[in-house]
């Protein structure tokens, strides 16, 4: 019996190592957002059915506080699953306003938010979204309102999602680098790796110990940016290449994931209805991708880094 059990264990180890089953450890979705169009209960069911252990979730608000009450109730009903962040607000006007500052600071304490949901500092217009005359959403990271907000929120000891995309690197990198350096005790999270290149991501993560990134949406090619010049300025290559019908990590990105294994977090950035509908497919695909990394690296990116940054244990 002992010999048979040993043989079965060894066989299982070989199969797992070969990628036959994919990474089967815990997954912590470090960033997702929701509004009523996606369906609150339905979306939570999709997360549970996919086998995700924790999800960092925040509301998509078009007016201050929109869907905040619904998300708080959703968390109360799913305390084992949802880590809640302060709502995202779409309509900042070139700087952070006082109403947003007051409300967010108050509710971080009132509702025990674990992080500040993404602030859209630079966001190029997408083909499927709202269009602006400037071709982008832009908040000056050194605006008076933003600096006031960061000064006050830093005392709350919660990470802040700073969404900026690297299509205007010359304009923005020096500003954000200065911002991160001036707030060394604050943890900043950049969603989607800024849709940047290996070199850009490496430079940011190497230079700033308080900056982390989610790897959401970077596995695919392209970013659906409307403006051709902005689109050309981004690294359109995703993590993956196709070889003999299988999706494989590109060598350059695999090296980067391993190098910065302590500063990267898996996320789906499920937000609009179409992203929530394919939630389980995204998770299944990433289990196969994680299986191409050393197990220790896969575990850090899949869940342990998010545990540390959000201060929550998966198990």
Q: Is the pLDDT of residue 178 over 70?
A: yes
What are the residues whose beta carbons fall under 8 Å from the beta carbon of 220, sequence distance 6 or more? 238, 240
For 48, residues 6+ apart whose C-beta sits below 8 A from its C-beta are 81
pLDDT at position 221, please?
Answer: 67
Among candidate residues 177, 165, 179, the one with its CA nearest the CA of residue 135: 165
Phi first, then psi, for residue 151 (nearest 5°) are: -60, -40
Per-residue pLDDT, averaged over 25-51, amounts to: 95
The yes-or-no verdict on residue 291 having pLDDT over 90 is yes
CA–CA separation, 211 and 294 (whole Å):
23
Instruction: Write down the pLDDT at residue 20.
Output: 46
Lowest-pLDDT range of 63-77, 79-93, 232-246: 232-246
Indicate whether 5 pLDDT > 90: no
pLDDT > 70: percent of the chain: 92
pLDDT of residue 176: 98
Residue 8 has pLDDT above 80, yes or no: no
As a whole number of angstroms, the distance between CA 163 and CA 185 comes to 19
Q: Which residues are within 8 A (CB) of 112 and not within 5 positions of it... i.e. 6 or more apart?
A: 84
Identify which of 152, 154, 125 has the alpha carbon closest to the alpha carbon of residue 138. Answer: 125
How far apart CA 54 and CA 255 sit, in angstroms, is 27
* pLDDT-based confidence at residue 22 (cuts at 50, 70, 90): confident
Q: Is the pLDDT of residue 246 over 80?
A: yes
> What percentage of residues in the chain have a pLDDT greater than 90?
77
Please determine, for residue 16, whether its predicted confidence score (pLDDT) is greater than 80. Answer: no
pLDDT-derived band at 247, boundaries 50, 70, 90: confident
Domain boundaries, the chain: 24-310
Residue, of 129 and 31, whose pLDDT is higher = 31
Residue 264: pLDDT band by 50, 70, 90 thresholds? very high
CA 29/CA 289 separation, integer angstroms: 15
The per-residue pLDDT for range 204-229, each reduced to its tens digit, is 999 999 999 999 888 876 668 888 88
Our CA dihedral for 73, 48, 253, 313, rounded to 10 degrees, sits at: 70
Task: Give CA–CA dist 95/60, Å, rounded.
Answer: 18
How large is the average pLDDT for residues 175-179?
A: 98
Average pLDDT over residues 132-145: 93
Give the right CATH number for 24-310 from 3.30.30.10, 3.40.50.12500, 3.90.1150.10, 3.20.20.140. 3.20.20.140
């Amino acid at each position: 019996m002992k010999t048979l059990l040993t043989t079965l264990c060894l066989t299982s180890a070989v199969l797992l190592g070969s990628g036959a089953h994919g990474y089967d450890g815990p997954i912590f979705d470090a960033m997702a957002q929701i509004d009523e169009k996606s369906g609150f209960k339905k979306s939570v069911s999709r997360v549970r059915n996919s086998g995700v252990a924790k999800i960092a979730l925040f509301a998509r608000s078009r007016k201050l506080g929109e869907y905040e009450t619904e998300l708080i109730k959703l968390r109360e009903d799913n305390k084992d699953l949802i880590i809640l962040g302060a709502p995202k607000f779409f309509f900042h006007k070139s700087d952070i306003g006082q109403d947003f500052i007051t409300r967010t600071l108050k509710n971080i304490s009132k509702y025990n938010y674990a992080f500040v949901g993404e602030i859209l500092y630079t966001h190029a217009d997408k083909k499927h979204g709202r269009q602006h005359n400037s071709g982008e959403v832009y908040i000056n990271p050194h605006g008076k309102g933003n600096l006031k907000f960061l000064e006050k929120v830093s005392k709350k000891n919660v990470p802040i999602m700073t969404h900026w995309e690297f299509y205007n690197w010359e304009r923005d990198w020096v500003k954000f680098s200065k911002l991160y350096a001036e707030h060394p005790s604050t943890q900043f999270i950049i969603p989607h790796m800024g849709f940047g290149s290996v070199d850009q991501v490496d430079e940011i993560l190497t230079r700033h110990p308080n900056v982390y990134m989610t790897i959401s949406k970077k596995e695919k090619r392209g970013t659906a940016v409307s403006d051709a010049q902005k689109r050309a300025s981004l690294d359109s290559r995703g993590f993956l290449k196709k070889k003999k019908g299988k999706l494989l990590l590109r060598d350059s990105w695999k090296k980067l994931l391993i190098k910065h294994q302590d500063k990267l977090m898996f996320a789906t950035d499920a937000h609009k209805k179409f992203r929530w509908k394919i939630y389980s497919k995204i998770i299944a695909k990433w289990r196969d991708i994680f299986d191409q990394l050393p197990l220790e690296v896969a575990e850090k990116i899949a869940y342990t880094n998010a545990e540390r940054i959000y201060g929550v244990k998966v198990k």
